[in-house]
């Protein structure tokens, strides 16, 4: 009985001893893990080589070594990235959404000096287009871009919204495009000068050809006709290049309020003769009060180009419907013809310079391939949009959309 009692007591003591060790191991293990989480060193914690937790601790230690290793690598990469960001020769800076400067690189510092928030930068630049891209209300647009001129240099300014852990920052960069701009200006000036120089000789040649036409015998007149056709084409080319130059350089552009009805009527009356010659009916119904704010001369030019094409590419006896209207705060102009149409593979390219669907037909008709690119430029200058729908053999519809400014 006594022996049984002693054995039981002994067993109880041994169990208590193991329970106590197990509890201590768990406490140590928890402390160890907490130290890892808190990123502290573990030297002071003692582990029993033969303890329950020894193997587990060894595995955790291996994991910890691996984490430490990854941390070192990550820190290295972070430093490298920071260095790269700092020394990149493009001025770059991060701002918090409420405008505090978070980080700027060396080029940014060199260009703008000691600024500490976005308002400092805005005040320094004083550019409407920069205010525009940094405006809070435009935050649906992820990427915003503008061009500014500052201290005699041109910059393409980009604003990207960077999202990280529910926080938003602005990354603003200033790419120096001065050299590109200079080349563009030289190219445009050269083209414009050459075109101007060509104008007078072409007029003189045309004048003399017309005199010669009256004196040449009937059987030689075909030569004069061919020369005249080519001179017409050259004259069209020169005036289209000059027009494109004017729109691109935004020179002599005057914004004013005008009635779109009058502009459409003017375009129709200027092209009435060509339409009549092909027995094409132009249908247009006046709309009440359609005031547009823009350059009336350029808008008229755009409508003339669209209408000229509609007449050119519509066979004899067809018709052209013109419509204007106001919807959803925008002004619309529609031009629908019953002409030859444009195959779908050409549609995305017809607004490019010198792009023509059928080279020989365009040439035959005195086309230059510049008409629609002029239209697109004019519409973009007015912050509008132009689209086209077409079906070969059925007709083409151009839709111009202008904001009410």
Give the burial string for 240-267 (b: 16+ CB within 10 Å, else e). Answer: bbbbbbbbbeeeeeeeeebbbbebbeeb
Q: Which stretch binds ligand ADP (CB under 6 A): 77-85, 210-218, 283-291, 366-374?
A: 366-374
- Considering the rule CB under 6 A, would residue 318 count as an interface residue with ligand ADP? no
Q: Write the CB contacts of 326 (distance below 8 Å, at least 6 apart in sequence).
A: 287, 290, 332, 404
Question: Could you tell me the smallest distance in angstroms from the CB atom of residue 283 to ligand ADP?
Answer: 15
Site residues for ligand ADP, 381-400, by CB under 6 A, read: 396
In 183-296 the beta strands, taken as DSSP E runs, fall at: 256-259, 281-284, 291-294
Radius of gyration of the chain from Cα atoms? 38
**Sign (positive/negative) of CA torsion 264, 266, 272, 274?**
negative
Question: Could you tell me the smallest distance in angstroms from the CB atom of residue 289 to ligand ADP?
Answer: 29
Q: Is 342 exposed, middle or buried (0-12, 13-18, 19+ CB in 10 A)?
A: buried
With CB under 6 A, what is the number of residues at the site for ligand ADP? 22
- Considering the rule CB under 6 A, would residue 356 count as an interface residue with ligand ADP? yes
Question: Could you tell me the smallest distance in angstroms from the CB atom of residue 347 to ligand ADP?
Answer: 9
- CB-side exposure of 140: number of CA atoms within 13 Å? 1
Site residues for ligand ADP, 22-81, by CB under 6 A, read: none
116 phi and psi angles, rounded to 5 deg: -120, -5
Cβ atoms of residues 372 and 351 within 8 Å: yes
Nearer to ligand ADP, 93 or 324 (CB): 324
**Sign (positive/negative) of CA torsion 326, 258, 255, 269?**
positive
The residue within the footprint of ligand ADP, chosen from 296, 313, 318, 379 (CB under 6 A), is: 313
- CB-side exposure of 389: number of CA atoms within 13 Å? 8
Nearer to ligand ADP, 91 or 369 (CB): 369
The residue within the footprint of ligand ADP, chosen from 271, 350, 379, 402 (CB under 6 A), is: 350
Nearer to ligand ADP, 173 or 308 (CB): 308
- Considering the rule CB under 6 A, would residue 372 count as an interface residue with ligand ADP? yes
Nearer to ligand ADP, 23 or 394 (CB): 394
The residue within the footprint of ligand ADP, chosen from 91, 294, 318, 339 (CB under 6 A), is: 339
Site residues for ligand ADP per CB under 6 A: 309-310, 313, 337, 339-342, 350, 355-358, 362, 367-373, 396
């Amino acid at each position: 009985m006594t022996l049984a009692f002693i054995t039981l007591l002994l067993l109880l003591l041994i169990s208590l001893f193991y329970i106590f060790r197990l509890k201590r191991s768990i406490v140590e293990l928890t402390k160890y893990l907490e130290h890892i989480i808190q990123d502290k060193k573990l030297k002071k914690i003692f582990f029993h080589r033969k303890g329950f937790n020894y193997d587990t601790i060894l595995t955790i230690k291996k994991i910890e070594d691996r984490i430490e290793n990854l941390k070192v690598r990550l820190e290295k990469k972070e430093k490298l990235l920071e260095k790269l960001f700092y020394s990149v020769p493009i001025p770059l800076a991060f701002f918090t959404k409420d405008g505090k400067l978070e980080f700027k690189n060396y080029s940014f510092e060199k260009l703008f000096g000691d600024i500490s928030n976005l308002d400092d930068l805005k005040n320094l630049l004083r550019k409407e287009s920069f205010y525009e891209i940094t405006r809070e209300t435009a935050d649906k647009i992820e990427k915003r871009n503008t061009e500014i001129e500052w201290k005699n240099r041109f910059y393409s300014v980009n604003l990207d919204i960077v999202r990280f852990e529910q926080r938003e920052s602005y990354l603003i960069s200033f790419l120096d495009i001065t050299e590109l701009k200079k080349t563009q200006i030289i190219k445009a000036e050269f083209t414009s000068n050459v075109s101007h120089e060509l104008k007078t000789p072409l007029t003189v040649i045309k004048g003399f050809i017309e005199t010669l036409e009256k004196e040449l015998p009937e059987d030689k007149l075909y030569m004069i006709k061919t020369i005249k056709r080519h001179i017409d084409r050259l004259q069209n080319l020169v005036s289209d290049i000059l027009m494109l130059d004017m729109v691109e350089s935004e020179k002599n552009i005057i914004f004013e309020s005008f009635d779109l009805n009058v502009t459409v009527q003017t375009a129709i009356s200027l092209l009435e003769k060509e339409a009549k010659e092909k027995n094409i009916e132009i249908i247009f119904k006046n709309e009440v009060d359609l005031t547009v704010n823009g350059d009336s001369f350029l808008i008229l030019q755009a409508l003339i180009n669209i209408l000229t094409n509609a007449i050119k590419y519509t066979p004899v006896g067809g018709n052209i419907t013109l419509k204007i209207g106001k919807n959803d705060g925008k002004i619309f102009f529609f031009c629908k013809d019953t002409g030859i149409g444009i195959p779908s593979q050409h549609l995305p390219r017809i607004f490019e310079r010198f792009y023509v669907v059928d080279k020989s037909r365009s040439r035959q008709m005195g086309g230059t391939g510049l008409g629609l690119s002029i239209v697109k430029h004019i519409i973009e200058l007015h912050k509008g949009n132009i689209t086209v729908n077409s079906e070969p053999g059925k007709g083409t519809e151009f839709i111009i959309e202008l904001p009410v400014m």
